[in-house]
Structure 1
Amino acid sequence: MKKVRPLNVAGRKVGVVGLDELLEERGRELAQLPPEAARKEMLEALSRDNYIPAGVRDAYGEAFYRELLRFAGLPVPTDDQAEPTVVILGPGCAQCDNLERTVLEILNQEGLQAVVEHVRDPAAIGEMGIVAVPALMVGRRVLFAGRVPPKGQVRKLLLSALGPSGSHGDER
């Protein structure tokens, strides 16, 4: 069974089936192609297992190409329009759900823009390297895991990670 990877496409989180497998099988080959050819081949290959609406096909191609660059260890152009991603990890217990509400409340109060997702699947949580829940991540950076700190500390961690001086640029 192919993996589903969350991916930011035009500021929205979508699940993409088979991206990891495509990169493993053909990533080095695709990285050698001109950008447009690589985008086209990735779109064609991933369209077999994913619905890609015609109106956002180019955005999907860009997102796939960014992942190809990351896979190949090449510089990834920053997308100043993309919002950082805040991820709550936990199976949906009361503590995890309360953390999600707290994060949304803090983001709203502070006027911070971010994509918020709650990963409940234990296998997906494990694939992210998290062994203790609840956990909170911004991009690929783990802010805490295994316990929920007081709300004031959650606020400080989020402001530090998402504020203008935060370093979320490479970690989206």
Structure 2
Amino acid sequence: MKIEILGSGCAKCNKTKKFVEEAVAQAGVDAEIVKVENMDDIIAYGVLITPAVVVDGEVKIVGRVPKVDEVLEWIKN
């Protein structure tokens, strides 16, 4: 599983990465977590507002920090 955190490195983006890491640890899944800061790469997903989270190529959330429970739902399915 590949999880991408899209964002410039702002506080909300860093908080999103922390919550994703926490959810992955709780779920015990094997996931590669990647921080994407290049705007061209972010826009390629159709994302114009960060933070955003992409799980295996599918955009799951845009423009807000997800709750750990939300991330758990995405990675357990």
Shared fold (TM-score greater than 0.5)?
yes
Q: SS of the counterpart of 1:158? A: helix
Highest CA radius of gyration, 1 or 2?
Answer: 1
1:90 aligns to 2:7 (yes or no): yes
Counterpart residue identity of residue 138, structure 1: V
Alignment match of 1:136 (pick from 31, 53, 64): 53
Alignment match of 1:105 (pick from 10, 17, 22): 22
Give 5+ residue unaligned stretches, structure 1: 1-83, 161-172
Structure 1 residue ranges (4+ consecutive) displaced by more than 6 angstroms after TM superposition: none
Alignment match of 1:115 (pick from 6, 27, 32): 32
Counterpart residue identity of residue 92, structure 1: G
Counterpart residue identity of residue 56, structure 2: G
Deviations 1:112-145 (A, max 9, x none): 0011101011122112221221110112111111
Greater strand content: 2
TM-score by length of 2: 0.87
**What percentage of aligned pairs have identical amino acids?**
31
The higher relative CO (CA closer than 8 Å, separation ≥ 6) is in: 2
Give 5+ residue unaligned stretches, structure 2: none
Task: Provide the aligned length of Structure 1 versus Structure 2.
Answer: 77
Distance, in Å, in 2 between the alignment partners of 1:89 and 1:113 is: 20
Counterpart residue identity of residue 124, structure 1: D
Deviations 1:86-122 (A, max 9, x none): 1000100011111111111111121100111010111
Distance, in Å, in 2 between the alignment partners of 1:153 and 1:115 is: 18
After superposition, the CA RMSD in angstroms is 1.3
